[in-house]
Structure 1
Amino acid sequence: MNFSILVCDDSTVARKQVIRCLQQCIDVDIMQAINGAQAIELLEVKHFDLLCLDLTMPEVDGIQVLEHIKSNKIECFVLVISADIQEKMKGRVMELGAIDFVNKPIDKSRLNEILHKFGIH
């Protein structure tokens, strides 16, 4: 079974790195969003098993995307992948329903561990 994943990051390099790691870990269908606004649009029309979400983006940031998912009861695991590693921010994203928080650059073994923990494999 292929899992459907949305990778949202305003950095093309970061998106490619996350996608490469995901493809090495699982058989997956991947779509990309270049910002939070585009991610919300896609989440409204298509089901994703997992959203890999950056926090720091122009226009609509990752926190706003998490708030939208929570307030609209969109069912989707969210894994935050960010360079913003402040404990306060980690706590906030977990409050909003993220399954975990991974530092950039993403570590393939850590990603694989999280995917398996939540049955995404």
Structure 2
Amino acid sequence: MLPIVIADDSLLARKLLTKALPPDWAVDVSYATNGHEALTLYREGKASVMFLDLTMPDMTGYQVLEALQHEDLNTFVIVVSADVQPLAQQRVRELGAIAFIAKPVTPEAVLPILKEYGLYV
């Protein structure tokens, strides 16, 4: 089982993202409602892959990416955000994210990324 984290302060967004994952993908999903929870789960080894919202209370997705960089990023981070501005996309890639998916998330948006990085066969 591949440990993954879905970090989003919106319960609806977490549910939609979970439904967008391949149904036969062998994963153990943990949920975070803010950046601090996401980092805690990462430090506990529960985030081989992290789906990360940018706009969350307490600690933004940008701040999570910065913290992961300082801790020697060792996870695949896929940013999932409604902020689709080119500058936002460029900034998250510079901070180590492997991909950017616009909300609302669809299986068609998730699957190619998972396959590209060998996370789903």
* 1:75 equivalenced with 2:74 (yes/no): yes
Are 1:118 and 2:92 an aligned pair? no
| Equivalent residue number for residue 98 of structure 2 | 99
User: What's the secondary structure of 1:24's corresponding residue?
Assistant: coil
SS of structure 1 residue aligned to 2:23: helix
Whichever residue aligns with residue 34 of structure 1, its letter is T
In the TM superposition, what is the alpha-carbon distance from 1:48 to its structure 2 partner? 1.9
How far apart are residue 25 of structure 1 and its match?
Answer: 5.8
Structure 2 gap ranges (5+): none
Q: Deviations over 1:45-85 (max 9, x none)?
A: 22421000000011100000000000111310000000001
Shift of residue 4, structure 1, vs aligned partner: 1.1
Q: Tell me the secondary structure at the aligned position of residue 21 of structure 2.
A: helix
**RMSD across aligned positions (CA):** 1.1
CA contact (8 A) 1:22 1:28 kept: no
Determine if contact 2:22/2:107 at 8 Å carries over to the other structure: no
What amino acid does structure 2 have at the position aligned with 1:42? L
1:73-101 deviations in Å (ceiling 9; x for gaps): 13100000000011001000000000000
Structure 1 stretches (4+) deviating beyond 3 angstroms? none
Output aligned runs, 1:1-121, within 5 Å.
2-24=1-23, 26-121=25-120
Amino acid at match of 1:45: E
What TM-score results when the alignment is normalised by the length of structure 2? 0.94
Between the aligned partners of 1:25 and 1:40, the Cα distance in structure 2 is 26
Distance across 2 between alignment mates of 1:56 and 1:17: 17
Percent of pairs identical after alignment? 38
